[in-house]
């Protein structure tokens, strides 16, 4: 046991013990009669088991409060950190939002300029359409005139085709007649050879035979060629 001095009279020592739980004060001589007295530190004691248990409960409650306080401080610190992070995130989002608004404004300005350009182009297209409609009307008139001319040309073509067919029919008739003439000439040649045979032995017989000119066949779309007349000359010397 160590003695403490009084606060009011510093020269006097304190020779008593004090219970930590119930704050009861005991003389050193009286402590010996209490078997449940337990010295904690210097002149601080527990006068009974109830006081010890009560003090332990108080210490445990204080420890729990301290632990809760530390946990609350840790939670407050985490919340502050989270709040700081959210504030930073909000600032970043505000900057992004501002940038996004600026981009939208620029896009809107570009869109307005593009719309104006498209309106100008549309007005030009309308003028071009009006011009094209006028040209189309002129073309339609010219088309009617050209159709009339084409009908006339088609009619003339049909007439020429009819004339060509008639010419071809005439040529075919002439070719048939030419074949008949050619057979008659062959027959005449045979008779002439029989009739003038003895004279050939005495005199020289010269028979000049000129080839028969065949008519040139023409195509439907080609002009008809002229035919040479069929001739045969016999010369006797």
Range of the domain at 32: 1-47
**Least reliable range by pLDDT among 11-15, 36-40, 166-170, 191-195:** 11-15
State how many domains the chain has: 1
CA atoms within 13 Å, Cβ hemisphere of 191: 6
pLDDT of 190 over the 60 cut: yes
25-26 and 38-41 strand pairing: unpaired
Instruction: Report residue 129's pLDDT band, with 50, 70 and 90 as the boundaries.
Output: very high
Burial class (CB in 10 A: 0-12, 13-18, 19+), 17: buried
* Structural domain includes residue 5: yes
Asked whether 229 and 176 are in contact (CB, 8 A), the reply is no
Residue 140 domain-assigned (yes or no): no
For residue 205, tell me if it sits in a domain.
no
197 or 95, which is more confident: 95
User: Is 12 inside any structural domain?
Assistant: yes
Beta bridge partners of 46: 38
**Structure-model confidence comparison of residues 210 and 23, the more confident one:** 23
Asked, for residue 54, whether it belongs to a domain, the answer is: no
Q: Is the pLDDT of residue 61 over 70?
A: yes
Instruction: Please indicate, yes or no, if residue 122 is contained in any of the structural domains.
Output: no
In a domain, 22, yes or no: yes
Please state, rounded to an integer, the average pLDDT across all residues of the chain.
77
- pLDDT reported for residue 14: 66
Whether residue 197 is contained in a domain is answered as no
């Amino acid at each position: 046991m160590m003695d403490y001095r009084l606060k009011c009279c510093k020269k006097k020592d304190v020779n008593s013990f004090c219970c930590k739980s119930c704050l009861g004060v005991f003389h050193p001589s009286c402590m010996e009669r209490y078997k449940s007295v337990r010295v904690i530190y210097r002149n601080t004691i527990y006068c009974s088991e109830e006081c010890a248990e009560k003090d332990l409960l108080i210490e445990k409650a204080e420890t729990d409060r301290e632990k809760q306080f530390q946990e609350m401080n840790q939670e407050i610190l985490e919340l502050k950190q989270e709040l700081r992070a959210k504030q930073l995130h909000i600032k970043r989002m505000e900057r992004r939002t501002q940038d996004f608004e600026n981009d939208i404004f620029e896009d809107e300005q570009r869109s307005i300029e593009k719309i104006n350009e498209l309106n100008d182009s549309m007005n030009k297209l309308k003028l071009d359409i009006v011009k094209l409609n006028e040209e189309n009307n002129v073309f339609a008139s010219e088309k009617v005139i050209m159709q009339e001319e084409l009908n006339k040309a088609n009619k003339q073509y049909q007439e020429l085709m009819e004339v060509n067919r008639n010419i071809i029919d005439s040529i075919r008739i002439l070719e048939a007649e030419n074949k008949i003439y050619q057979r008659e000439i062959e027959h005449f040649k045979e008779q002439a050879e029989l009739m003038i045979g003895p004279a050939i032995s005495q005199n020289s017989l010269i028979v000049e035979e000129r080839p028969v000119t065949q008519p040139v066949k023409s195509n439907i779309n080609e002009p008809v060629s002229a035919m040479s007349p069929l001739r045969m000359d016999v010369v006797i010397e």
